Structure 1
């Protein structure tokens, strides 16, 4: 009536031959060979018993890789969806995918935001490589390479100046290199604070004295007389001597640092050094122009206005304060978020300035403060930044409604990028502290018996 019946358990035997056992990091996984063929040109799709990691006794393939990541890799072969394990670091996940021959861009959209955080973090922390914050003290060979004396150092023919120059440089440019450098840093910070304080105090009315001048007038009896007139007020003479001493130190410091700098081009291009040079130059320029030009100009205060550049010396504190360095580089790393903030603020300012201008004109309003849209721009800026001076306020109900929307829009616009900036600062600070700890406690090899 037909052929012989099939042998028993034939299906089970064929099923067992199609199975494959994978031992990844000590954890065994079992699947079908057909499953691993779903994604061609990968490591798992090319498994053969001739490979060195195949164990014929246990009938399994052994891979000394991360088992947690492999769970998601095997699931990708089964379902065609690659998910990101939250308990694994991003670079480790990428390294494992590269080993298995998979593309990290195939991560599912639901996991992409969590997975891609590490890329932004690495890009942000890459900026710290350019910082010099309490890092480990360089060796003599590294210092010689920095100053271009590597050949002389290896040959042992360093001159006295070549040995002295790096020491002077670290004394003035590395505040934490030695006790002498800390003393120089304290003196520099002291003169910066005194200079800024003097610049501010000399504008106070109690710190100024009248500048008197004699004027000849004709009297009623065809005779002339002299009268004393208060022309203006000038700072006390003591402020000049205080600034003279401060700028003498700044000049000396700038000259020494430029002479002993490892790279003069980088020194000149540094924004802090440019500010220091311009601020110091402005003091000497004021002295030269004060007597030759000031008396010829009615509004001689215009010369004092340009001396405001000296207040920028506060940025020199970044050389002595790691926190200020981190803050400045936080703003650099958050440039995209800050640009987005400015864009939405400008957009909102223009829109609400236009709306409030026309809203105040729709109803009778004799006390209308919004005479034009440019005047409304000032009100929109003050309102969106939640300052609210109160010098310009809408009087109509429609204008008040526009003002309420403007205030709410300002709060939301400013609040959106703030968490990103705070996160970047926290990341910078924690990473910097980690580097300081690493340099303070270097790894010491432990000998084995």
Structure 2
């Protein structure tokens, strides 16, 4: 019996459409079912699931580990946990740990609009979005340093975009993520531990050399 081989004009999918999506968002790893993502094809993860090629998929994430088939996003992990709830229920709830502007920016990044907000949170979100700028104007010229502002959250995205067209951009971007984000991979955690160890060793050496018996 002769097996049929794909013709020259046929295309082999780069990954099965029904394969679960393995994602890593700020160190939080989850496996998302293709069925759940297909319910929301307009979201970033929905478009990633339906990507026709690896090149198209890479444009939707910060990095892709082909060996582990894992997509990496340098975004807020807390919002991602709320995003998982959205894919299960179809409703997004507001996070108190994020300021209203940072929450809105995260929602826009993942392809969610205000219509995705749960009815129990929509009025509160709109009220905070209106009253927060007014409070800044009345209290001070600068926002509180406790809440992450949109500029701080997008700094990482701007840094990653610098490597897009650069020479060896993919390697340089992966190296940057390894050194800057401990949750990126196991080598990132090891690098972070070594860095902390070097700092502690330097502090200990300075303290020892300050003792009288070690001074000339």
TM-score by length of 1: 0.24
Between the two structures, name the one with larger relative contact order (CA 8 Å, sep ≥ 6).
2
